[in-house]
Amino acid sequence: MNALEYARLQFGLTASLHFLFVMVTLGLVVLVAAMQTRYVVSGNPVYGKMARFWGLLYAINYAVGIATGLVMEFEIGLNWAGLSRLTGDVFGAPLALETLIAFVLESTLLGMWIFGWGRLGKWLHLALIWGVAATAMLSAFWVMVSNAFLQHPVGYALDADGIARLTDFGALLSNSALWFALLHTVFAAMTTGGILLAGVSAWRLRRAHRARRRRELGPDDHELFRRSLRLGIRVGLIGTFFTISFGYAQFGPLGDNQPTKLAGGAKAAAEQAAMVERFGPGDYLPSEWVIPSLEAMTGIANLLFLLLFVAQVLTFRDTLIRRRWARPALWMLTVLIPVPFATAILGWIVREEGRQPWAVYGLLRTADAVSPMSAGALRWSTFGFTLAVAALAIVDWWLLARAAARTPGGEFGTDEETGENRELQQEAMA
């Protein structure tokens, strides 16, 4: 492998692992905010316990995920000097906004929410988690703005030195490669959060149903996971539907912006000839991985929708929990937990591998974007960075598994029945 291949492999591996954290973060935060809203409005302590239990999983994933994002920033600076030098003035602007939002505003609000349990007024504390959710979505938006420029560069002009300068920020925000892709990503994250919720709840309920472990969950905790199961299935089903819908909606702009990505047969030969005529000799067709990845992604997504639809039907009158013949579906929901992650990686293969050989489609070739480094140096950095991110992913899932297995209650080190929370429970009891 040469330096370019190592640089691409390195960023592909670490970006894929980092995106797994992003999907859990985006998917869980809205669900936690919805749980706490039900708690504040209704005063039902079960929803407060749900918000704390799942909020802990969210906080763990967020904290570890930050480190994987830092690894990617190092890689962009070290390995892709040509990209930063020639187009950094454009695609770097939204990334800078994302960094400020993710590391300053979102982290601050999350810290206040974590340490504010039982110490802040119920409405102020609720506003904090919705602020976390809003800033998380805004962070995703800015990342996708930057990525959309790489897919379809707009809003720039080349100066005398051939460097892209930002001339129209509004054009970045109205990029035809942005909005459908953003909604596709957000709903994929909601699907991930819903299936994680349903899968973990199904696992806890299955354990509780075993003859020797009937006392593992008390009545309140059983209700917590019962409600979480129903919510997770519902959100996963809706999220899958819109993920598929906005995925298909991208085909129109994609054909205009990147005609070579999904071209096959005679059309591929015609598009290759047109690119050679426009940009000179070279292979402008993406690898053979793109079409199979697209087919696998769509097939898995449609199957996932069907399975979640069946699970949703089985939630009627709690058939999924109460009827022995339906309980294998609980096992199925737990097995489905990694499926959205695998599907998302296939989607990113289609999006990123499909624009090759361009780092910025039609503007900057990937070979010209890589830093002038030796293959040996990039080989060792690929090993080191990938090992670091993989280790963080393993630690994250280990911590999530431990948190998911614990008895709900006291997740943030404070008594749930203090301050405003005690008042809410007293009102509910009255």
106-124 pLDDT, tens digit each: 999 999 999 998 888 999 9
As a whole number of angstroms, the distance between CA 255 and CA 354 comes to 12
Collect all residues with Cβ–Cβ distance below 8 Å to 292 and sequence separation of at least 6.
Answer: none
Q: Which pLDDT value is given to residue 220?
A: 67
Residues in a beta bridge with 156: 166
Q: What is the spatial distance between Cα 112 and Cα 115, in angstroms, rounded to a whole number?
A: 5
CA dist., res. 289 & res. 286, Å (int)? 8
Token pair of 415 as six digits: 């008594």
SS3 153: coil
Contacts by 105-112, CB closer than 8 A, 24 or more apart: 105/131, 105/135, 106/132, 106/135, 106/136, 106/139, 107/66, 109/135, 110/59, 110/62
State the pLDDT at residue 421.
47
**What is the DSSP code (8-state) at residue 350?**
I
Q: Report how far residue 201's alpha carbon sits from residue 197's, in angstroms, rounded to the nearest whole number.
A: 6
The alpha carbon of residue 364 and the mean position of all alpha carbons in its chain are separated, in whole angstroms, by 27
Q: Are 375 and 3 in contact (CB under 8 A)?
A: yes
DSSP character at residue 286:
P
Residue 75 pLDDT: 86
176 near 253, Cβ under 8 Å? Answer: yes
Q: Note the pLDDT of residue 409.
A: 78
Listed in sequence order, the residues at least 6 apart from 364 whose beta carbon sits closer than 8 Å to its beta carbon are: 82, 83, 86, 87, 358
37 by Cβ neighbours in 10 Å (0-12 / 13-18 / 19+) ranks as middle
CA 349 to chain centre: 15
The two tokens of residue 72 are 């990617």
Query: Would you tell me how many other CB atoms lie within 10 Å of the CB of residue 270?
Result: 12
Q: Which residue, chain included where needed, has tokens 């994929």?
A: 188
Secondary structure of residue 212 in the 3-state scheme: helix
Whether residue 357 is preceded by a cis peptide bond, meaning omega within 30 degrees of 0, is: yes
Model pTM?
0.90
Supply the pLDDT for residue 217.
62
Rg of the chain on CA atoms, in Å: 23
Six-digit token string for 163: 């460097």
Asked if residue 21 lies in contact with residue 59, where contact means CB atoms within 8 angstroms, the answer is no
Cα 191-192-195 angle, rounded to 5 deg: 85
- Predicted confidence pLDDT, tens digits, the chain (430 residues): 889 999 999 999 998 889 889 999 999 999 999 999 999 999 999 999 999 999 999 999 999 988 888 888 888 888 999 999 999 899 888 988 888 877 789 999 999 999 998 888 999 999 999 999 999 999 999 999 999 999 999 999 999 888 999 999 999 999 999 999 999 999 999 999 999 999 999 999 888 776 444 455 666 688 999 999 999 999 999 999 999 999 999 999 988 999 999 888 888 899 999 999 999 998 998 888 899 999 999 999 999 999 999 999 999 888 888 887 877 889 999 999 999 999 999 999 999 998 889 999 999 999 999 999 899 999 998 999 899 999 999 999 999 999 998 888 777 754 444 444 444 444 444 4
Q: 36: which strand partners?
A: none
CA trace torsion 195, 196, 202, 208 (10° rounding): -170
